[in-house]
Amino acid sequence: MHIAEGFLPPLHAVGWTVAAAPFVVHGARAVAKEVRERPENTLLLGAAGAFTFVLSAIKLPSVTGSSSHPTGTGAGAVLFRPPVMALLGTVVLLFQALLLAHGGLTTLGANAFAFAVVGPWAGYAAYRLTRACGGGLLPGVFVALVVADLATYLTTSVQLALAFPDAGSGLAGALVKFLGVFAVTQIPLAIGEGLLGVLLFRVLTVNARPELERLGLLRPVAEPTAQEEVR
């Protein structure tokens, strides 16, 4: 759910751009430092951005017969950490605006704040909390992706409510309206993306275990000793 071009009043568009800027700049610095120290990681970071874009093109099956698309930022936050996702998410939003006409240029700041900042940070916090409470990788991934989606949807609803308060009941009434209208698509989408994340990471733990170990998501399996190998 991206806010379309021209939908936000000019002051709100500028305000949300200013709010998102420190996070995106922090992400840009993190990426620039990584590329300076390890130029070979430029390609891995580019691949992560492309994967986030392409993940949003996967159609999720829906009970209603319609289809919806995941945001991909929750999975990105677990795999690549939120600061990197602040930048990659903003790049993906720019590409979605210019390649798919989703979102816009004046609403890029507001969409980046919801999609690339709040979503990844909330999802990553939920992931760390689940792991700290003794949850495994897959429960952690499910919670992270659901929370990232719901946080993005909640933030977008707040942005719209602030821009268009209800004539009678003000901000609270407007928030109830926008949360209610978009809940129809966004709550099933959040649960669906959580399930997709579990299926994705279950395959990755089998097929891409070394990569997950390198990213710190799984503990390396201890090498068998010579005595064990003989047995």
Q: Which of residues 50-109 bind other proteins (CB under 8 A)?
A: 50-51, 53-55, 57-61, 63, 75, 87-88, 91-92, 94-95, 97-102, 104-106
Site residues for other proteins, window 121-180 (CB under 8 A)? Answer: 160, 164, 166-169, 173-174, 176-178
Q: Round to whole Å and give the CA distance between 205 and 59.
A: 23
Instruction: Give min distance, CB of 195 to other proteins, in A.
Output: 6
Nearer to other proteins, 133 or 184 (CB): 184
The single-letter DSSP state of residue 160 is H
User: Which amino acid, 37?
Assistant: E
How many amino acids of this chain bind other proteins (CB under 8 A)? 75
Site residues for other proteins, window 11-40 (CB under 8 A)? Answer: 13, 28, 31-32, 34-36, 39-40
Q: Round to whole Å and give the CA distance between 58 and 77.
A: 18
Site residues for other proteins, window 187-216 (CB under 8 A)? Answer: 195-196, 198-200, 202-204, 207-208, 211
Say whether residue 110 binds other proteins (CB under 8 A): no
> DSSP of 68-131, one letter per residue?
B----HHHHHHHH-HHHHHHHHHHHHHHIIIII--S-STTHHHHHIIIIIIHHHHHHHHHHHHH
Instruction: Give min distance, CB of 144 to other proteins, in A.
Output: 15
Instruction: Give min distance, CB of 222 to other proteins, in A.
Output: 24
Q: Round to whole Å and give the CA distance between 82 and 121.
A: 6
Can you tell me which residue has the tokens 């709550």? 187
